[in-house]
Amino acid sequence: MNKIRVLIIDDSAVIRDVLSEILAADGAFDVVGTAVDPIDARAKIKQLKPDVLTLDIEMPKMDGISFLRNLMKLNPLPVVMISTLTHAGAEETLTALEIGAVDFMAKPKVTASDNSLLHFQHELVNKVKAAAMSQQKIKFKREPKKAMPVAHCAKTVPGGKLSGYNIIAIGASTGGTEAIRDVLMDLPENLPPIVITQHIPESFSARFAARLNEQSRLTVVEGKNGDILKPGHVYIAPGSHHIVVKKHGNQLKCRLDNRGPVNRHQPSVEVMFNSLLKIAPNQVVAIMLTGMGEDGAKSMRKLLDAGAHTIVQDEASSLVWGMPKAAVNQGAAKLVVDLHNIAPKIIQHLAGTG
């Protein structure tokens, strides 16, 4: 099997060395070169023909975002962004994902603990492998979806069943920020509350929620402990906590849980889905979108067995068919559909027509 050819683009010699050492130690990779800035990278992409790039956002001569825009127009390649854990870094990283980057990693701190460095190594290896698997899909990636004029987007679900404990839950990982955006942009206002677990760092989740709120007709917020879940609202799990749904009288509430990683993730889709088993699962719509790994697959099967309506994104439209594939293999999928059919299927189910 051919090794994955990786080009590392970063103006920091320390980061170039760290990334090179981690990837070179794994037999799946061939680090074919490094570049100190986008101008250097242009020549080396032509010369070395890498399969995957790692790309710093802040660099001299040309910033990573401008370089990525040009790359996706002229020579689309899978890119894993290397970002700082700051508000500005979060905004730029989310923009990069919107443009076409596959995934991102937070730069390791020089003072990081051994456990943190081991986690970084594991995540980097897995994300670059996942990026390589997405290579053909990157080449045919469509332009980012633009917000549909209000007049052309249904405002309500006809006959929507909004009483009781109806709730929609969405789980996603790699490729999920854009998949979630696409689904929410096609949904109307009069929906049950939506809870979302996207694997994302703590410093990014609030900005992710804010961007979705700007782009969707729904009200999107980062979930807070004790939030009463309201119709027409979307609650994003903070990057530091699991989101758990609890029944409180006639209401549903959000509880943030800090028990530690489950399936190597905090927040975890497994934890969110499991919490829904205790609150009338036959009135739950559970959705699994693109992502790496198996998080949430087992609990999704439990939800289906308990009467939930489950929808899984198909392989063709998933950037990485890991979590959706695991759900299908568990027998957890009532429906397996293209990304652009997920919102219509939700609406049909709530309207009692599908």
| Residues annotated as part of the active site | 173, 199, 295
> What is the rounded distance in angstroms from the CA atom of residue 136 to the CA atom of residue 340?
19
DSSP per position, 274-286: HHHTTS-GGGEEE
Please provide residue 147's backbone torsions phi and psi, each rounded to the nearest 5 degrees: -60, 135
Please provide residue 234's backbone torsions phi and psi, each rounded to the nearest 5 degrees: -120, 135
For residue 204, which of 177, 233, 178, 184 has the smallest C-alpha distance? 177
The DSSP bridge partners found for residue 262 are 265
The two structure tokens encoding residue 116: 């943190």
Q: How far is CA 150 from CA 162, 190, 193, 351, in A?
A: 22, 14, 21, 20
The two structure tokens encoding residue 333: 């999928």
Please provide residue 333's backbone torsions phi and psi, each rounded to the nearest 5 degrees: -100, 120
CB-based contacts of 43, cutoff 8 Å, min separation 6: none
CB-based contacts of 1, cutoff 8 Å, min separation 6: none
> What is the rounded distance in angstroms from the CA atom of residue 232 to the CA atom of residue 171?
18
Under DSSP, the state recorded for 82 is E
Please provide residue 242's backbone torsions phi and psi, each rounded to the nearest 5 degrees: -75, 150
